[in-house]
Amino acid sequence: MSYKLPLGRKIFIAINIPLLIGIMLLSIVPFVHLLAVSLSSNAAASSGQVKLWPIGFTLDAYQFLGQKAEFIKSLGISVQRVFLGTIINMLLVFLTAYPLSKTNEQFRFRTGYVWFFAVTMFFGGGLIPTYMIVKETGIMNTIWALILPGALNVWNMVMMLNFFRGIPRELEEASKIDGAGHWSILWRVYLPVSLPSIATIGLFTIVGHWNSWFDGMIYMNSPANYPLQTYLATLVTAINVKSITIDDLSALQNLSEKTLRTAQIFLGALPIMLVYPFLQKYFVKGITVGSVKE
């Protein structure tokens, strides 16, 4: 490090650091505001006084949510979806990536299969025909409508495939000599050495399932089956006025709709906010490898 910086450099640093801090605040402050509103009294929140610190601090909104059936139910469906969906997605990624990671000489039909899957990366039937097929296959209004249509993410599969290809052939040959078949090579050799990649793909899959809301909105006939993000989306677009039941009305009188809404949105974002800073390196890896799509 040089001790005497040229003047131009000093000016640059004096501008650069505040500028970057400004951008950083732009990404964080909206969520601080959201939290502040959700913790404020309803009068302060609805009159728009609250900026970054709660006014008339109260936990009422959060306490009310604790007994709000729709919120709790949709949270449960989201958890179920993330759990089941991630397991199925990952299994399909493993099972599909393994055979396709072989050479053409080891697996003669490889090229044909690769094309079969690759086509779907570039061409799709679009929203309406997909909706019709989901309807025809009878999974509407069940959790499977949120899992099966996207059960094989081809982008993730390609990423896994490329990683499998980097595994030294000797590892496979050695276990073959010990009499291992393809199944045990996949489970006992490939997967254990692929843990970082599995973590990367798994995290993107978890976040993807947690964040999806549009599929819930079109495939679920009744709001009772909405996952959390779909429920939040209906709050936000306010098309779901009817779902406030009579029981809630009395409690609502003490609560502005705004504090309640912001509290729910904040809770919908909270799990990710808490977790991603610590797992960032896996996300960064997935992004720079370039094959994981949101």
Partner 1 sequence: MNTRTTNKRRLRAELPLHLMLVPGIIVTLIYAYGPMLGIVMAFQKFKPLLGFFKSEWVGFKNFEYVFNLPDFTQVLWNTFFISIMKIAFGLLIPLILALLLNEITKNWFKRLIQTSIFLPFFLSWAVLGGVLIEIFSLKGPVNGLISAVGVEPIMFMGINEWFVSIIIGSDVWKGMGYNMIIFLAAIVSINANLYEAAEVDGAGKWKQMVHITLPGMAPIIILMCTLSLGGVLNAGFEQILILYNPAVYESADVIDTFVYRLGLFDQQYAPAAAVGLFKSVISVALVSLSYYLAYRLTNYRIF
290, 204 contact by CB (below 8 A):
no
Among 6, 168, 179, 192, binds partner 1 (CB under 8 A): 6
Among 53, 57, 83, 183, binds partner 1 (CB under 8 A): 183
**Looking only at residues 41 through 60 of this chain, which bind partner 1 when binding is defined by CB under 8 A?**
46-48, 51
Amino acid (one-letter) located at 200: T
Burial class (CB in 10 A: 0-12, 13-18, 19+), 6: exposed
**Selected range binding partner 1 among 3-11, 67-75, 167-175, 190-198, rule: CB under 8 A:** 3-11
Our separate counts of H helices and E strands in the chain read: 16, 0
**Looking only at residues 219 through 278 of this chain, which bind partner 1 when binding is defined by CB under 8 A?**
229-230, 232-233, 235-237, 258, 261-262, 265, 268-269, 272-273, 276-277
**Selected range binding partner 1 among 55-63, 65-73, 181-189, 249-257, rule: CB under 8 A:** 181-189
Give the integer Cα–Cα distance in Å for 252 and 249. 5
**Hey, how many other C-beta atoms are within 10 angstroms of the C-beta on 93?**
26
34, 256 contact by CB (below 8 A):
no
**Looking only at residues 9 through 38 of this chain, which bind partner 1 when binding is defined by CB under 8 A?**
9, 12-13, 16-17, 19-21, 23-24, 26-28, 30-31, 33-34, 37
Contact map string, positions 139 to 178, toward partner 1, x by CB under 8 A: ---------xxxxx----xx---x----------------
Give the integer Cα–Cα distance in Å for 130 and 139. 12
Contact map string, positions 88 to 107, toward partner 1, x by CB under 8 A: ---xx--xx-xxx-x---xx
Q: Quick check: 197 binds partner 1 (CB under 8 A)? A: no
Give the integer Cα–Cα distance in Å for 158 and 174. 25
